[in-house]
Amino acid sequence: MNQVDGRSALRRERPTEGGAAQARGRLRRAIGAAREILWGLTLYDSYHESMVEAQRHRDAFDVLILGEMLGIPLMNTTVGLRLLPYAVGDLAGFRVRFLREHEVLEQAPHIH
């Protein structure tokens, strides 16, 4: 038996590096899936409620700034004009949300 053949035989018997990398990849995916499941079980409801509350605060801010456009005299015009650049980005979405017809049952899960 030649030494070259002996080395190649040893290399054939050694486990491949790719198998270990695949196992690590599967382990990482399993840990990521478990993390997402735990996040969904524990924090999703809190996250959703905080997003709804943040949207309500943004809508209240928009009503204060753009209330005169809707016919609600709430603020001094100069204060509204100074705050207007902060509200311009969400103006189209605010109009859609504010002027859309709402059903009472849509708001039922968020009434506390």
Q: Where are the domains of the chain?
A: 1-42, 45-102
Q: Is residue 90 within 8 Å of residue 62, measured between CB atoms?
A: yes
Residue 7 parent element (H or E): helix 3-13
> What pLDDT score was predicted for residue 28?
95
CB within 8 A of 55, min separation 6: which ones? 97
> What pLDDT score was predicted for residue 35?
93
Low-confidence ranges of the chain (pLDDT < 70): 1-17, 74-76, 107, 109-112
> What pLDDT score was predicted for residue 62?
78
> What pLDDT score was predicted for residue 30?
95
d(CA 108, CA 112) in angstroms, rounded, equals 9
